[in-house]
Amino acid sequence: MTISEDLDPKDLVPKDLVLADPAAVDDVLLPGFERRRVTTEDGAILALVGGSGPPLLMLHGDPQTHLCWHRMAPRLARQFTVVLTDLRGRGESHKPARSDDHRAYSKRAMAAEQAAVMDRLGFDRFALVGHDRGARVARRLALDHPDRVTRLAVMDIVPALDFYERADAAIAQDYFYFFFLTQPYPAPERLIAGDPAHFMGRILTGLTAKEVSYDPLALDAYLQAATREDAIAAMCECFRAGISLDLEHDRQDRAAGRRIACPTLVFWGEEGVVGRHFDISAIWRGWAETVAFAPLSCGHFIPEEAPEAATGQLLTFLQDR
């Protein structure tokens, strides 16, 4: 992991910065977007809706919230009705309790919930973009609900099956939390609780060769949201589902020859650990019928490291007839 040994991630947040009301932060970083609480079968999901035009659902990664899109969403909202949600277990959305089978945090369950959110908002079919954990949910949504997704863009991931099949010592070193967070309850929860801001900060600062220029309001919101006890528990459960149920679902898809049917665009950061460790184009050609690739000169946190380049490529892809 690329991180200065002298850097305490908590020091990234200005000492005099006090977390503002979440709605006020949204007003600053996502002006013109309307906050909505969308009730699903299992709980309430926070959604921000802005713009006009064809619907576009955007799903954030870990340990972040809908705010990760603040440098891209306003531009996209000029041509699309943009929906930004907090995934279950994250941000202001509901956080299902831990279970022995981790089913509530399988990407299948999370994807079905996001499809239900779009139903509640009146969108039958929509384009879909996801980064990190959100990209895993987006990929599953496109596989399980192919009639709902018109186009899919994923940022800086490989599917769970490919990740764990190809894992070696170097990958385990760079992506240590893919193995740490999957450990049985309560080991990771208790260890993270000793200094949650440092743990979450390591993820936010350690997946790129360069320092990420986070907006201070956004960074503080990420740390405030991710370091809550229930959010830590949800994150652990999500990774436990990743190495169990998500793997099994991927194996079933591969055995059945099931692939993503809609046009797919795959982004990755050439300076990030995914780009260094995986043959991304080869992997994704095995999962998508029609796929294009967009490597960018950045690390893992594409929406905040390379927002202009990513937005330009995304607009071209979404408008391609």
Per-residue pLDDT tens digits for 115-174 = 999 999 999 999 999 999 999 999 999 999 999 999 999 999 999 999 999 999 999 999
Question: Rounded to whole angstroms, how far apart are CA atoms 159 and 75?
Answer: 29
52-56, 66-70, 233-237, 270-274: the lowest-pLDDT one: 270-274
Question: Which residue in the list 60, 66, 70, 300 is annotated as catalytic?
Answer: 300
Please give the structure tokens belonging to residue 211.
């320092």
- What per-residue confidence (pLDDT) applies to 210? 81
Per-residue pLDDT tens digits for 94-110 = 999 999 999 999 999 99
CB distance 240 to 181 below 8 Å: yes
Question: Rounded to whole angstroms, how far apart are CA atoms 73 and 51?
Answer: 9
Question: Rounded to whole angstroms, how far apart are CA atoms 316 and 321?
Answer: 10
Q: How many CB atoms lie within 10 A of CB 87?
A: 27
pLDDT band, residue 209 (cuts 50/70/90): confident
pLDDT band, residue 207 (cuts 50/70/90): confident
Secondary structure E strands in the chain: 34-39, 44-51, 55-59, 81-85, 126-131, 149-155, 264-269, 291-296
Active site residue 60: no
Per-residue pLDDT tens digits for 32-79 = 999 999 999 999 999 999 999 999 999 999 999 999 999 999 999 999
* Collapsed DSSP state (helix, strand, coil) of residue 86: coil
Active site residue 145: no
| Mean pLDDT (whole number) for 1-29 | 63
Look up residue 261 and give its amino acid. Answer: A
Pairing label, strands 264-269, 149-155: parallel
- State the sign of the Cα–Cα–Cα–Cα dihedral 125, 314, 205, 271: positive
- What per-residue confidence (pLDDT) applies to 24? 95
* Collapsed DSSP state (helix, strand, coil) of residue 262: coil
- What per-residue confidence (pLDDT) applies to 247? 98
Please give the structure tokens belonging to residue 171.
């990958």
Q: What percent of the chain has pLDDT over 90?
A: 91
Is pLDDT at 18 greater than 70 in this prediction? no
Q: How many CB atoms lie within 10 A of CB 78?
A: 12
Please state the pTM of the whole predicted model.
0.95
Mean pLDDT across the chain: 94
Per-residue pLDDT tens digits for 249-259 = 999 999 999 99
Question: Which residue in the list 62, 86, 132, 246 is annotated as catalytic?
Answer: 132
